[in-house]
Chains A and B, each alone.
Chain A
Amino acid sequence: MSKTHQQTARAASASSDRRAAARALAVVHWIVRLRMLVVLTLLVVAVTILTDGDFAGPKNLINVARQISFEALIAFGMTLVIVTGGIDLSVGSLVALTGVVAAVVMQATLDWAAPACILAGLLTGCGVGALSGTISGSVITRFSIPPFIVTLAAMLIARGFAFIACSGQTVYELPPGLIVLGRGFVLEGVLGKVLPVPVLIMLLGFVCFQILLSRTIFGRGVIAVGSNEEAARLAGIRVARTRLIVYVLTGALCGIVGVMQDAKLMAGDPKVGEMWELNVIAAVVVGGTSLFGGRGTIWGTLIGALIIGVLNNSLNLLHVEHFWQKVVLGLVILLAALLDAALRRLGRQ
């Protein structure tokens, strides 16, 4: 009888051990999942202390949010592209091209009612962006050329067309109401200067893409194509179509951002968007998306964009010399990648 008792006791203690282990595992699991949020929080705390609280002032925070909203919006599309195992280097040039084409269209329709004129600009911008994405995506899928090469070519071509579309001249005649899209605030009369319009657009984009990637049949296909293309094909996923669509979506996002950029500058400038592709990719990667494809989240990308935005802003606040800012930014991206790799290894064990 005592033997039975011992066995029961041993079983009980074993099961409580197992429960404790499971709890510890769950904690580790969450730390791993939220690793970039942890990095962001640490960064914000450090910067707030270093700037004697200047960073955490409401005006500055709103400023940071507005600064990141342009590139973050594109980064959501880029996340899908990278999750399929691709890359899109043409986004910066596409912002310029779509911005200029939209500006030309708005200039031509200035005598329409302002909303109609702006809508025409937006639709053209998105259309041009989506068309460019369609061409890149089709070449990539139809001829199996690496996305890096195809979008590198698209980057040069789009930049060239940006200058051609406006004959190299910045377009200044835009509908006055347009400025709201770049510098306005949502319900400014009621709320005051709290929520910039670009931030609202970015947040809407965030919600849409978050749902698209994690909660739709299409998003699951994107993940499957990136994790194992052959398996995805044999499971009945239309691989080529899936890969095409992510480039189209990213192009369309560039169109929206192109018009927002017109609004911010109140000009269609073919020189905007230089190096954006790298900032956007950095935000995606810092956000924990694997460049090998198959793994990534939209909210991670938002946090990645915030980390980079906070860094840029705080380096300015701290009066760090411009050249040094680049060095620091580079180091932080490297650190984030190292931390990501280390935590992921921990998560696997």
Chain B
Amino acid sequence: MSAAPPRLRCDRVRKAFPGVLALDDVSLEVAPAAIHAIVGENGAGKSTLVKILSGAVVADAGAIEIDGRPANITDARSAQHHGIAIVYQDFTLAPDLCVSENIFLGRWPRTRRTGWVDFTSLHREASNLLAALGIELPVRRSVSALAVAQQQMVEIAKALSLDARILILDEPSAVLTPHELQALFTLVRDLKQRGVSVIYISHRLDEIFDIADTVTVLRDGRHISTRPIQGVSRSRLITDMVGRELKDEFPSRLCPIGDVVLQIENLSAKRRFANVSFEVRAGEVFALTGLVGSGRTSIAKTAFGAVRATGGTVAVCDRIGPFAKPYQAIAAGMAMLPEDRKQEGLLLERTLRENVTLAHRKAAAVAGFLHIGRERSLARNLMADLKIKAVSTESLVATLSGGNQQKVLLARWMSLPHRAIFFDEPTRGVDVGAKYEIHTLINRLAGQGVAVVMISSELPEVIGMADRIGVMHQGRLTGILDNRRRQVTQEQIMRLASGEEARP
């Protein structure tokens, strides 16, 4: 008797998007009833692989086999048909429907006589399914009334209601507290006992060592290694993920650090964070890091007047806040590059010219009237200065790549005299080359005497760029690490971020 075929086999799967080779001949085997972690930095190809398995995108080349039989996944339905179920980072639940309705969305039982929805059997089936999975949830409660962790359980139940043989969890821990995470792990181990193969996508190594049997590293769209978790060291995984020494990855910065420019004292915002204090000096890069939801972004938004402060002060040189509205913060010399470029930063359907001059329209105006010629030359200069790749100043921003879009946002703030700038995840979704350029621009701003606050979840970026590192845990600043020698370790940061240790 030969060994059972792998549950999932990807053979030289390839996918190119305009300008990037997202997956470059990736081959991978997932054993039946195994928990298989896939790790890698942003842009490594994890999400493209998930999209191919879910049928959201179709591979350009390569083959996929499930239980030894070739599987042709062309859309979400055929992925379902092959027993693949996915829980995405962003939930896909209908918030106003109840738990049962969500689990069986689109497959509600009907009564025979009237053809209306048979709620009695709907709730019964949902209860049975949840009981079988060992999940306790009120089936009649609407999903919007549940906690995030419970919503995730609904997603998992929904995914498994179709007899899934492969469950893909895409960054499941991003929204969970440590306690909730343990509950998720219990469920995942239980599923493994029932013969389900779980693909666990994450960039948090602690979790991987906790839950996975096997770990695969992807980098720049290529398969780097697949190893059983026993016998793999953490540093080995990091080397595989990063692929090079950190030293060369970040441009060096040699500028004097001056006086205090930005001073945040006991700043609080209701239900987001409390009593955060730090100061940033001219020419200094201060990084704020911590898990998603730990309050980093809220601090930036509150300091910038986009979220209401419930206590404390924000001071930029002699201008004392908190500022009630962003325009007041800008007038005080602050700027902010938001985390979500498309939702909070760009006017996608407008031109590059209109986007780069948005925050300083006055520079292209006389007495309130815009001078389009002047605006255009302003935009052209910024394009050249920041090496923004676009056909012209009149190109729609929606047509630019992620890195260039980020540079458009940078350009928006570049030509204004600023004292303090917040960068929220400045290099998320940006390719390696553009990353380096953005880091160089951050250094250039610091060199001009600007106080820079950089929010980032990428620890290598934090360690490679910051002079000091503030670490957040559940709305509190648990410590500030001195990183002038670039010698802080990821472990030091993670200890503070997980709340294991707090330093005043």
A227 touching B369, Cβ below 8 Å: no
Main SS of chain A's interface residues?
Answer: helix
Q: Is B133 an interface residue (CB 8 A)?
A: no
Q: Of B327, B344, B365, which is within 8 A of A231 by CB?
A: B344
Q: Is B90 an interface residue (CB 8 A)?
A: no
A231 touching B346, Cβ below 8 Å: yes
**Residues 329-362 of chain B, each 1 if its beta carbon lies under 8 Å from chain A, else 0:** 0110000101000011111111000100011011
Chain A interface, number of residues (Cβ within 8 angstroms): 24
Known pairs A217-B361, A238-B325; A231 contacts B347 (CB<8 A): yes
CB A194 to nearest CB in B, in angstroms, measures 31
Q: Is A235 an interface residue (CB 8 A)?
A: yes
Note all chain B residues with C-beta closer than 8 A to A217.
361-362, 365, 368-370
B347 touching A294, Cβ below 8 Å: yes
Q: Is B306 an interface residue (CB 8 A)?
A: yes
CB B476 to nearest CB in A, in angstroms, measures 25
**Residues 222-235 of chain A, each 1 if its beta carbon lies under 8 Å from chain B, else 0:** 01100110111111
Q: Which residue of the partner chain A has the closest CB to B399?
A: A348
A215 touching B372, Cβ below 8 Å: yes
CB B483 to nearest CB in A, in angstroms, measures 28
A223 to B361 CA separation, bound complex (whole angstroms): 13
Note all chain A residues with C-beta closer than 8 A to B330.
236
Note all chain B residues with C-beta closer than 8 A to A232.
347, 358
Note all chain B residues with C-beta closer than 8 A to A221.
361
A117 to B2 CA separation, bound complex (whole angstroms): 103
- List residues 284-315 of chain B with CB under 8 A from any CB of chain A: 304, 306
A211 to B370 CA separation, bound complex (whole angstroms): 9
B326 touching A233, Cβ below 8 Å: yes
A228 touching B347, Cβ below 8 Å: yes
A223 touching B327, Cβ below 8 Å: no
Chain B interface, number of residues (Cβ within 8 angstroms): 29
Q: Is B412 an interface residue (CB 8 A)?
A: yes
A220 touching B361, Cβ below 8 Å: yes
CB A287 to nearest CB in B, in angstroms, measures 17
- List residues 294-329 of chain A with CB under 8 A from any CB of chain B: 294-295
A233 to B306 CA separation, bound complex (whole angstroms): 8
- List residues 116-135 of chain A with CB under 8 A from any CB of chain B: none
Note all chain A residues with C-beta closer than 8 A to B349.
227, 294-295
Note all chain B residues with C-beta closer than 8 A to A233.
306, 325-326
Note all chain A residues with C-beta closer than 8 A to B369.
211, 215-217
Q: Is A218 an interface residue (CB 8 A)?
A: yes
A269 to B336 CA separation, bound complex (whole angstroms): 54
A63 to B361 CA separation, bound complex (whole angstroms): 42
A13 to B86 CA separation, bound complex (whole angstroms): 50
Number of A-B contacts (CB under 8 A): 76
Known pairs A216-B369, A217-B365, A228-B348; A234 contacts B306 (CB<8 A): yes
Q: Is A237 an interface residue (CB 8 A)?
A: yes
Which among A228, A232, A294, A348 has the highest number of chain B CB atoms within 10 Å?
A228
CB A93 to nearest CB in B, in angstroms, measures 32
Note all chain B residues with C-beta closer than 8 A to A237.
327, 358
Q: Of A215, A220, A238, which is within 8 A of B358 by CB?
A: A220
A224 to B344 CA separation, bound complex (whole angstroms): 12
A316 to B361 CA separation, bound complex (whole angstroms): 48
Q: Which residue of the partner chain A has the closest CB to B328?
A: A236
A72 to B327 CA separation, bound complex (whole angstroms): 34
A217 to B365 CA separation, bound complex (whole angstroms): 7
Q: Which residue of the partner chain A has the closest CB to B325?
A: A238
Q: Which residue of the partner chain A has the closest CB to B335?
A: A236
- List residues 251-303 of chain B with CB under 8 A from any CB of chain A: none
A218 touching B368, Cβ below 8 Å: yes
CB B345 to nearest CB in A, in angstroms, measures 5
Note all chain A residues with C-beta closer than 8 A to B372.
215
Note all chain B residues with C-beta closer than 8 A to A211.
369
CB B306 to nearest CB in A, in angstroms, measures 6
Which among A215, A223, A231 has the highest number of chain B CB atoms within 10 Å?
A231
Q: Of A218, A228, A238, A348, which is within 8 A of B327 by CB?
A: A238
B344 touching A220, Cβ below 8 Å: no
A224 touching B362, Cβ below 8 Å: no
Note all chain B residues with C-beta closer than 8 A to A219.
370
A216 touching B347, Cβ below 8 Å: no
Note all chain A residues with C-beta closer than 8 A to B368.
216-218
Note all chain B residues with C-beta closer than 8 A to A224.
347, 350, 354, 358
B345 touching A234, Cβ below 8 Å: yes
Note all chain A residues with C-beta closer than 8 A to B365.
216-217
A227 to B343 CA separation, bound complex (whole angstroms): 10
CB B334 to nearest CB in A, in angstroms, measures 10
A47 to B287 CA separation, bound complex (whole angstroms): 68
Note all chain A residues with C-beta closer than 8 A to B362.
217
Known pairs A211-B369, A216-B368, A220-B370; A236 contacts B326 (CB<8 A): yes
A331 to B196 CA separation, bound complex (whole angstroms): 57
Note all chain A residues with C-beta closer than 8 A to B336.
234
- List residues 37-69 of chain B with CB under 8 A from any CB of chain A: none
Which among A218, A223, A236, A237 has the highest number of chain B CB atoms within 10 Å?
A236
**Residues 359-378 of chain B, each 1 if its beta carbon lies under 8 Å from chain A, else 0:** 10110010011101000000
By a beta-carbon cutoff of 8 Å, the part of chain A in contact with chain B is 211, 215-221, 223-224, 227-228, 230-238, 294-295, 348
**A-B contacts besides A216-B368, A234-B336, 4 pairs, CB < 8 Å:** A217-B369, A227-B347, A231-B345, A235-B358
Those 7 A-B pairs whose CB atoms lie nearest each other, nearest first: A236-B330, A227-B347, A236-B327, A235-B359, A235-B358, A217-B361, A230-B344
What are 18 A-to-B residue pairs whose CB atoms are below 8 Å? Answer: A215-B372, A217-B368, A217-B370, A218-B368, A219-B370, A220-B370, A224-B358, A227-B349, A228-B347, A230-B343, A231-B338, A231-B346, A234-B306, A235-B358, A236-B326, A236-B327, A236-B359, A294-B350
